[in-house]
Chain A
Amino acid sequence: MATKTYAGVNIEVNDEGYMTDSSQWTKEVANEIAKEEGIELTDKHFEVIEYIRNKVAAGESLTIRGINKSGVVNAKIFYQLFPGAPLKKATKISGVPKPVSCI
């Protein structure tokens, strides 16, 4: 466990840089994590982030399929917003745990 300073606040993160206390999350924190990932957040990003935070708070799992059906964005736009590995990046910026894929 480590702490990082985002937007002037000490934030607890795990080895991979994911926040461990979701309640510490603010939009300012999100902006700074996003910068580290090379992403400039727009309103559309924040719509997706809100969806992700709500899903996780409700204890539901996150999948590309679910996001595609969410009505917030389709999978293609989701990839454009968070290029590369979108679920991993989007969850990191949303201050929620990295989704586990169990098979």
Chain B
Amino acid sequence: MKKLLILGAGTAGTMMANKMRNNLDRDEWQITIVDQFKTHYYQPGFLFIPFGMYTKSDVVKPKSDFFPTGVKVIYSKIDKIQPEESSVLLDDGVVLKYDYLIVATGCKTAPEEVEGLKDKLWYKDIFDFYTIEGALKLAEHFKTWKGGDLVLNVSELPYKCPVAPLEFVFFADAFFTERGLRDKVNITYVTPMSGAFTKPRAAKALGDLLEEKNIKLISDFTIMQVDNDEKKIVDYGGQEVKFDCLVSIPPNLGDALIERSGMGDDMNFVPTDKHTLRSEKYENIFVIGDAANLPTSKAGSVAHFAAEILEENMMCAIEGRPFTASFDGHANCYIETGYGKGTLIDFNYDTEPLPGSFPFPGVGPFGLLKVSRMNHYGKVLFRWIYWHILLKGKEMPIDSEMQMAGKKL
């Protein structure tokens, strides 16, 4: 039997297990997937928890619900990949050999990377919402918070779901307005970027939204440390921002297993060919999702589009044909703006987010870089699609390649 091994059963790994089981002959190929946890978290749902819109039960399901039959599942921590031997070492000493390997171990927050972040105020006045624990603690905190300086700080690029921190401050504006506390809450968005977003048109549109909602933007701020005594964040240039409640997006790093395997860059992301999705170094290793160093967003939607490309290219590799699919970095992100409305951006490696309509030119129903009720429904729908279509690796009615039709230059 030939062996396909998938590391990580999150969004990307689960999709690939489903897709590849459909493609590969059961008598010839054994597929194994490994993950340390039995619970699948719907991470996009973490954003809604601090504001009491979702509870824990809305964002968790057993991973086993999403694996196809005929895939061997191992729940274990992975120690390291030994690429020269085409094998993987698990924590308990078990060695798994493979013919092909898919790395889908994602990325996670590393608060210990910023001095003073995970210190005496951690989960008292300082929170994250990129983990289930942080999101739940912050929900508790907001229940009784009386107001003050609410500061959202992005530590470092890249981080997953680049729009989530913006959505957080938009939600915070609506949340405290509805509670009659908005005049007591100063919201500040502090980012290492030069504006609200990287690309010019989206930066302008999202920057205007911040202003409209009376949210202060501080850009070009690269955090050096959190001062727990004076409750302020300090950047390398000496700039300081005081907070009563700090919501941090800590550095997002690839899993330490990548470092132990000697396969990562300085943030533990695996150098990956941005079009073929093959490891730059090893012919029988492919990388998908947040674990890869691709120059596009780290997002579930990106992993979904990439999965269609990877499925095709893996089959090419296995059957000894040249690669026929090429990934364009397509990302499609619904952005909640509060009050039951949202906006939407659609872009790839080469094309910045542009205004227009999506997915049908001139019709929509979704508006690009426009705030509308429909776009909010898009995000709400995304959770259903995620559990029922996306993870199972089924086809979605959206092209994996970004389309120019419907966009205004």
Contacts and interface: CB of A to CB of B under 8 A. Distances in A.
Contacts of B194: 85
B156 interface: yes
A101 B289 CA distance: 18
Contact of A76 (B162, B224, B295, B298): B224
Interface stretch (A4-12, A36-44, A58-66): A58-66
B110 to A, nearest CB: 11
Nearest to A102: B295
20 contacts: A64-B156, A65-B156, A65-B251, A65-B266, A65-B267, A66-B266, A75-B222, A75-B224, A78-B236, A79-B222, A79-B237, A84-B237, A100-B198, A101-B157, A101-B192, A101-B198, A102-B198, A102-B295, A103-B157, A103-B197
Interface in A21-47: none
Nearest to B267: A65
Nearest to A84: B237
Interface residues on B, range: 20 to 34
Contacts of B197: 103
B205 interface: no
B193 interface: yes
Interface residues of A, number: 17
Interface in A46-103: 63-66, 69, 75-76, 78-79, 83-86, 100-103
A69 B296 CA distance: 24
Contacts of B297: 103
Interface of B: 156-159, 162, 192-194, 197-198, 220, 222, 224, 236-238, 251, 266-267, 295-298
A65 B158 CA distance: 11
Contacts of A78: 236
List the 10 closest A-B pairs by CB distance, nearest first.
A103-B162, A79-B236, A102-B295, A79-B237, A101-B157, A85-B220, A75-B236, A103-B158, A101-B198, A66-B266
A75 B194 CA distance: 18
Interface of A: 63-66, 69, 75-76, 78-79, 83-86, 100-103
Nearest to A87: B222
Contacts of A85: 194, 220
Given A64-B192, A84-B237, 4 more contacts: A63-B157, A85-B194, A102-B198, A102-B296
A99 B224 CA distance: 20
Contact of A103 (B159, B220, B238, B251): B159
Nearest to B331: A103
Contacts of B193: 101, 103
A83 B156 contact: no
Contacts of B251: 65
A84 B194 CA distance: 11
Contacts of A83: 237
Contacts of A76: 224, 236
A66 B293 CA distance: 15
A75 to B, nearest CB: 5
A103 B192 CA distance: 12
A79 B237 CA distance: 6
A51 to B, nearest CB: 14
Contacts of A64: 156, 192, 222, 236
Nearest to A63: B266
A28 B359 CA distance: 53
Contacts of A84: 220, 237
A101 B192 CA distance: 10
A102 B198 CA distance: 7
B211 to A, nearest CB: 21
A69 B194 CA distance: 23
Contacts of B198: 100-103
A102 B296 CA distance: 6
A85 B267 CA distance: 21
Contacts of B237: 79, 83-84, 86
A14 B240 CA distance: 33
B274 to A, nearest CB: 10
Nearest to A103: B162
A78 B236 CA distance: 9
A27 to B, nearest CB: 26
Contacts of A63: 157, 266
A21 B360 CA distance: 42
B38 to A, nearest CB: 31
Contacts of B162: 103
